[in-house]
Amino acid sequence: QKEVEQNSGPLSVPEGAIASLNCTYSDRVSQSFFWYRQYSGKSPELIMSIYSNGDKEDGRFTAQLNKASQYVSLLIRDSQPSDSATYLCAVNMGGNYQLIWGAGTKLIIKP
Amino acid sequence: GAVVSQHPSRVICKSGTSVKIECRSLDFQATTMFWYRQFPKQSLMLMATSNEGSKATYEQGVEKDKFLINHASLTLSTLTVTSAHPEDSSFYICSVKGDSHTEAFFGQGTRLTVV
């Protein structure tokens, strides 16, 4: 069974610190990886996508992919209270773009 | 980014009635649409995938006669929850992808409450 796993949290991080979110996946042939942010009562919003091994940076966000170890992570630098949300990891394990979703990690940034 | 409009954002209906949810791509052609359901404190569960002009493909455990999906045009897909029951109360979200996109874009979601 294809799975994506995340620690449900909550992960509590002081304002200004680095928040580190992790995700592991089961299928080695997975092709693309996504991090979404979801505020309570809202639909997910794409934060980062990553397709190849290594780091990808976009502003305060850095996605890291390690296909050999089958994990993908998201780092948030200079964390702000507005970053408090649930972060969902999603993996495309096939060519039809059907995403497998993790359960999400709740992140709390404390002022 | 691409714009996806989902309507209504909230709906309350009586048990036994049907509810239609619309999902529109406003500035691109939606070749593939995904319908998700999300219960409180849980992740998204894919219900079905639809391509324009063809029948939707439902995930295991999702009743196709209860959750009717119509993807009649390249900009519109609808999900109809028929004979709704309180256990159908959930957050329903559509996601849309065009041919030129490497990612899908989400609608705003519909909070359905069946009383």
Maximum CA extent, chain A: 42
Residues A101, B104: C-beta atoms closer than 8 Å: no
pLDDT 10s digits, A6-34:
998 999 999 999 999 999 999 888 889 99
The rounded distance, in Å, linking the Cα atoms of A54 and A50 is 9
Contacts of A6 by beta carbon, 8 Å cutoff, 6+ apart = A21, A22, A23, A87, A88, A89, A102, A103, A104, A105
pLDDT more than 90, % of chain B: 68
B76-81 and B19-25: which strand pairing?
A: antiparallel
Q: Which residue has the higher pLDDT, A80 or B1?
A: A80
Give the mean pLDDT of B80-100.
Answer: 93
pLDDT 10s digits, A39-65:
999 999 999 999 999 999 999 999 999
pLDDT tier at B53 (50, 70, 90 boundaries)? Answer: confident
Residues A97, B106: C-beta atoms closer than 8 Å: no
Mutate to test the interface with B, among A43, A91, A98, A100 (most CBs of B within 10 A): A43
pLDDT of residue B71: 85
Supply A76's token pair: 């948030």
Residues A43, B107: C-beta atoms closer than 8 Å: yes
- Binding-face residues of B in 42-71 toward A, CB within 8 A: 42-46, 49
